[in-house]
Every structure is written in C-alpha cells, then in structure tokens.
Structure 1
Amino acid sequence: MKKIKIGLLDFGIRENKMNSLLRVQDLIEYAIHAEALDYSRIWLAEHHIGDPTLTWNCPDSLVPIVAGMTEKIRIGVAGILIGIHDPYHVACSFKLYNNLYGDRIDLGMANGGVSQAVANNTIKADKKEVHLSFERKYKEVVHLLQEEDTLFENDQIVIPPFKGLVPQIWSLGVGYGNSMTRAIETGSNLSRSIFHFGSDLNYQKEKLSEFKELFYQKHHRKPQVNMVFSGACHETTQKAKRVIKDLKLGYDINLVGCKNLFQETILSFQENYGIDEMIFMNVAMKPSDRLTSIELINEALN
C-alpha cells in the first residue's frame, strides 16, 4: 500500500461561545498546526445559512489569509458554489492566489443549493438556476484558466499573471456519477464525499480504476483522487463520543473513536475504496478537541 495522505475540510463550525472572528483566528491556528503535522491540504467549504454564529459564507477571501500564514500546506475552497458566482472573477482570484502563494492553491467546485433569498442577492434569478447553470459555469472557469492563448488571441482577455501557474481544479461529488464525467471532460481532479446526506457508500473500486484509465488516455497524466469523511478522534472512544454528544449537524458522522480505530478504518478505506488521500472533516467543536483529533490521527498514520 502507498502511504496515505491526510488533508482537512473545515466548515467553520466551532463551539457557540466563540464569535465569528475568534473562529477565523482559530482556523488560522488550526491550519498552522496541521502544516506542522504534515497534513496535505486544508479546504474551506462555502455555505449560506441563516445562522448568527456563521463563521463565513464565501471563504475565498480567507484563502490568501491562511496561505499567507503558512508555507507548504495546500489551501483551497471545496467547494465554491459556482452557480452563484461569476466564473471570470473566480478564475481571476484563484489564479492570482496560486501565483502569489507558491502554486499551492486548490479550487474545488460544488453544485450545492442556496435559498431563494441568497439567489436573489447573487444571480438575481430563481434558485433552480444555481443547479442548472453549474455545468456551464464550471466549464467556463476551466476554459478561462486553461486556454489563455486562445482567450488572448481571440478576445484580448488575460487572466493575470499571463502564463502563470493554474490552481489545482477539483470536481466534487457524493459518488462517481456526474463528478467523474466532468473530471474526465475537463481534466479536473476528483473528490468524493461520504459524509453528505445521500452519499454513495459503495466502494466502486473498479469504476475508479476505469476512470483513471480513461482520464490518462485523454490527458496523458494521472488524476488526483481523494475521499472526504467526517468524525472525531480522541484519546479514548468514550471521550470521542462525548465530543459529538448533542451535535446537530446537517450531515452524517462517519467515524468516532480512538486513534487505533482511526488507523484501522482509514487503512480499510484505502484498501476498499482504492484511494490514497483522505480528507478529514473534524466535527469536534472545541479548539482543543480539534487539535487533539488531528494530532492523534497523525500519530495513527505515522
């Protein structure tokens, strides 16, 4: 088996006594600590909910802040709800970030829903348009980032810096349906969630192998693939269960326990799903418990 890489996904959820700005400060400290533990990347999720304790809705503005406080860990958004954003602005921002911060910026795009009020204040249209426009806008972002010679020759459009490094693009999904087709068509990397409601938990290892072969045939390189799971790790399984007690979250919790259970389960994930990079969505609310989780998982896999 290959050594498993571990990254992090952050929704900005923390204990209620922390206000939004304290949570952002904790995010920075969390990212710095994760980098010291050699985590591969940290992704920030976009979400728009009517909650006064919300840390952020559009995390793209936090990407250069976290990147500026770190040196080697990859930073990104996964996923940006491209259906409510302008592809040109997204391409401009993330390409500039990637060239300012050492080619370590990730751009993951997701087809998530929003309320009608959010749709009114962004795309000025019915919220159904967020879903309907996703594939088109996704391809527009990829085109803007990858076809700069064509853009310049035909339309005198430049996404600065000209001839600069393009961020890693990730196609996100809860299975291997549209996200896999999209990744092959656009040359994107592939990320699969198993913690969102409705996620496909079937291994589909053969389908993944077929995807990698088709991707290589078209793009002459190997795609990066990872899988996102949620949970809490602590010194004992009892303590880990106490961390998630009374949590009311809008998604499943996949794994709760001690580092030995995490080691066993993550190795099982690698074997059964055929994926060598896992992204951990830490559901612990207290900053101290969150740090304990990532420290113990690091020990379990090293």
Structure 2
Amino acid sequence: MNNKISLGLLDFGKRNTEYSSMGKVLDVIDYAIAADKLGFSRFWLAEHHNFSSSEAWSSPQMLLPMLLCETERINIGMAGVLINYYSSYEIATNFKMLENLFPSRVDLGFAAGTPPLKISQLLSQQDFEKKPDTVERKMKEIHDFFYAEDMVAERDKIIIPPYRGRVPEMFLLSSSFNKVDKALSSKLNISKSIFHKKESMNYQKEEVLRYKSEFRNRYGYTPKASVAFTGICAPSEKEAQKLASMSGYKNFHNAILGPASKFQDVLLEHQENFGVDEFIFHDANPLNSERINGLESLSEKLILSNHKKVNHEV
C-alpha cells in the first residue's frame, strides 16, 4: 500500500460569515493560498446556479485567473463546467488561453448538472422545456479542438489560439466509474464523487484498473483517477460533528468527520479499495479560519509535498 496520499480540494464557496457574498470570495482566495503553501495538489471551484442572495458565485470561471495569480504551484480549475449549457468553442478558447498563461496549472472538469429551467434557457439562449443532452458531443468537440487541431482547421476552418499551444488537464466528473469508456474516448481523466448520492460504497476497482490500462495503451501515459469526498477536519470527532451541524449541509454521505489521523486511516483504506491515485476533499467546515487549521493538520499528517507553515494573517 502506498502511504503517501495526494489530496486536492473542491470548494462550493459556502462560508458562515457576517460579510457579504464578496467576503466569501475573499475567504476562498485565502483558503486557496493556504492550500498552495501546504502542498495540496489541486483546487477546484464548482458551478451551481442557486436562487440565493448569499451565494459567492454561480459560475466561478472569472475567479480562476485571480487564484492562479495568487498561488504558485497548485492546479486551479472548474469542476465542473455544466458543459451541456455552454458552447464547446467558448470553453475550449477560454481554458486553452488560461493554460498557456499558467502552464501545467489549469484543470477543466465536465459535469452533467442541470440548473433551474429559466437559467438553463438563458445559458443556452434557447427556449425549451428540457435541454437535450449534448454533453458527450461537446466533450468530443473539445477533444478535437485540443488534440486534432490540424483536422479541425482543415475541415471546419477553426483554430483555437494559441495554435499548437498547451491544453488544460481535463476530467470527467461522475458519481460512479461506469462512464470510464466516455472518458477514454475523449482522453479525459476521471473523478468520482462519493458524497452526491446516498448509496452504499461501490469501489469499482476493476473498472478503474481497466480504464488506466486501456488509456495507457491508447495514449501512452497513465491517466489520473480520483475520488471526491466530503467532511470536516477538526481536533476531535465531537468538534467536527458540531461544525457539521453549523454548516447548513444536509449531505454528509460517506463523510469523514474528525482529526487528521482519521482522514489518514480512511483515505489509505479507500486508496487500496478504489485503486485511485488522488482524493478531492470537499471541506464542509463553515468557518474559514478553522478550514485553514484543518488544512495544516492534514498536510502534516498526510505528508503532502511543499509543506510550509501558514501565516493565518493572509
């Protein structure tokens, strides 16, 4: 068993704060800076279109350049873009430019979520009762924009600048590993959430190993496979449970609530059972300062690379 764990973060922008929604954005920036200094692998922002005056964002895409500027090593990305409601050309154009401005640091995740009907219509600039599913087609289009540039240029007279430039790391996000064949066909890494649905743990290790093997044979390198989970890291399980009750979240399926030592034990077990290389932690702690304390504890316990003490005055 590999005792070293690679750990990234997923942020929905939710915080308990007396400040406005922009105050939450500033908290997220501080949190990302801390994660970067403490050796976390990646920092993902989720897209959610909620009817609430307290939301930090709906789409976080405009925050990515700022987070990339404020950090040095950590990968920054959206996980994910609700690709069914966007132009594949627009997404490819924006994320390719970001990756070339910040080489090897930009992630692009694809999610199949559905916003409320009116927002879906506005995003798509179409009038419908139910949006047709275009996710697979658009992922294929983005794959071709990035990896078949000459074919697309000749066939469609389209070039995504910079021509033959770098492309972001791309991930297919799902609540199972049943979609590995879609990931294979579009040259995507894959990340499975175990906290979005209330169901028993389904490891699907054989599917993960098959995906990695077939991907390596087809593309010449090993893809990334990760598991996203939720929880709260606190000095004790009792304190973590208390913070969970303050968080406003009702969804704590398969959560880890407790000290960093508990995270280490559970994640090492998950690493063996799932056959994955990395975990993505959705931190449900409602207090930003306590979140950063939790990051430091996790970094020390899990021996994350590039670990430094954090100045909590950031």
Shorter chain as denominator, the TM-score bin is: over 0.9
Distance 2:138 2:201 in 1: 28
> Cα distance 1:126–1:293, how it changes in 2: closer, same or farther (>3 A)?
farther
CA contact (8 A) 1:174 1:200 kept: no
Q: Which has the higher contact order (CA 8 A, sep 6+)?
A: 2
TM-score, length of structure 2 as denominator length: 0.91
Q: What does residue 191 of structure 1 align with?
A: 191
Indicate if the aligned counterparts of 2:176 and 2:193 stay in contact, CA closer than 8 A: yes
CA deviation profile, 1:152-197 (whole Å, cap 9, x unmatched): 223332111111100001011000112x111111111011110102
Separation in 2, partners of 1:281, 1:125: 34
Please give the secondary structure, in 2, of the residue aligned with 1:78.
Answer: strand
Kindly state the Cα deviation for residue 246 of structure 1 after the two structures are TM-superposed.
Answer: 4.3
The answer as to 2:125 corresponding to 1:144 is no
Residue 188 to residue 127, structure 1, CA distance change in 2 (3 Å)? farther
**1:204 corresponds to:** 204
Question: Which ranges in structure 2 are unaligned for 5 or more consecutive residues?
Answer: 304-314
Q: Partner letter of residue 72 of structure 2?
A: E
Q: Does 1:258 align with 2:259?
A: yes
Residue 76 of structure 1, CA deviation: 0.3
In the alignment, which residue of structure 2 is the partner of 1:245? 245
Unmatched tracts of structure 1, length 5 or more: none
Partner of 1:36: 37
Query: Is 51-60 or 247-256 further displaced after alignment?
Result: 247-256
Instruction: Report the alpha carbon displacement of residue 200 of structure 1 after superposing the two structures with TM.
Output: 6.3
Q: Are positions 1:90 and 2:91 aligned together?
A: yes
The residue identity in structure 2 corresponding to 1:242 is K
What is the alpha-carbon distance in structure 2 between the residues aligned to residue 75 and residue 265 of structure 1? 25
1:165-244 equivalences under 5 Å are: 165-178=166-179, 180-198=180-198, 201-244=201-244
Letter in 2 for 1:288: S
1:250 Cα offset (Å): 5.6
* Cα shift at 1:120: 1.9
Q: In 2, are the aligned partners of 1:175 and 1:199 still within 8 Å (CA)?
A: no
Alignment RMSD: 1.5
Secondary structure at 1:164 match in 2: coil
SS in 1 for 2:131: helix
- Deviation (angstroms), 1:199: 5.8
CA contact (8 A) 1:115 1:127 kept: no
Query: Counterparts of 1:78 and 1:184 in 2: how far apart (Å)?
Result: 18
1:198 positional shift: 4.7
User: 1:202 offset after TM fit, Å?
Assistant: 1.0
SS of 1:57 mapped into structure 2: coil
The offset of 1:213, in angstroms, is: 1.6
Aligned residues: 300
Match of 1:126 in 2: 128
**Contact kept? 1:119, 1:127, Cα under 8 Å:** no
Q: What corresponds to 1:79 in structure 2?
A: 80
Q: Which amino acid in the other structure matches residue 42 of structure 1?
A: F
CA shift, 1:300, in A, is: 1.7
Q: Please report the TM-score for the alignment, with normalisation by the length of structure 1.
A: 0.95
Describe the superposition over 1:8-60 as per-residue Cα deviations: whole angstroms up to 9, x where unpaired. Answer: 00001111523211111111111111011010000000011101111111111
Contact 1:105/1:167, CA 8 A, preserved across alignment: yes
How far apart are 1:87 and its partner, in Å? 0.7
Task: Map Cα deviations across residues 62-95 of structure 1 (whole Å, 9 max, x no partner).
Answer: 1111001111110000010011111101000000
- How far has the Cα of 1:140 moved from its partner? 1.5
* Offset from partner CA, 1:266-301 (integer Å, 9 cap, x none): 111111111121110000011111112211111221
CA distance in 2, matches of 1:196, 1:67: 27
- 8 A Cα contact 2:10 2:283, kept in partner: yes
Alignment partner of 1:163 is 2:164: yes
Structure 2 CA distance for aligned equivalents of residues 252 and 243 of structure 1: 12
The alpha-carbon distance between structure 1 residues 33 and 167, as it changes in their structure 2 partners (threshold 3 A), is: same
